[in-house]
Amino acid sequence: AQKVTQAQTEISVVEKEDVTLDCVYETRDTTYYLFWYKQPPSGELVFLIRRNSFDEQNEISGRYSWNFQKSTSSFNFTITASQVVDSAVYFCALREGGGGNKLTFGTGTQLKVEL
């Protein structure tokens, strides 16, 4: 069965610090997709990134970067020079290659960025 683990329940940083959110996954499929979503206090989940299992290339988007390592089954998310607006709950999710487009979510990491 597939599983996503986000061991960090809550992280607090001071603005401009860099922060990394960890995500470890388990799956027996060779084809799968990994996602990160942001949930601000308003509640809506905002899609950030999708990565497929065949593409281990790291990605950078502005202050955000993602490190995908199949050898350790991890898909970590780094925010550089954090800002107060980055305060939110961040979820990592896994979709296996079979039908149904079902996502398995981790329990989320609450990030608090303070001035």
Q: Which residues bind another protein (CB under 8 A)?
A: 4, 9, 31, 33, 35, 37, 42-47, 50, 52, 91, 93, 95, 97, 100-103, 105-108
| Residue the block writes with tokens 């955000």 | 64
Q: Minimum Å distance from CB 75 to another protein?
A: 15
Q: Minimum Å distance from CB 66 to another protein?
A: 15
Residues 6+ positions from 97 with CB-CB distance below 8 Å: 29, 30, 31, 32, 33, 53
Q: Minimum Å distance from CB 81 to another protein?
A: 27
* Closer of 41 and 62 to another protein (Cβ): 41
| Residue the block writes with tokens 């940083």 | 13
* Closer of 23 and 113 to another protein (Cβ): 23
Q: Minimum Å distance from CB 53 to another protein?
A: 11
Residue 78, exposed/middle/buried by CB under 10 A (0-12, 13-18, 19+)? middle
Residue 72's alpha-carbon distances to 29, 69, 81, in angstroms, are 15, 6, 26
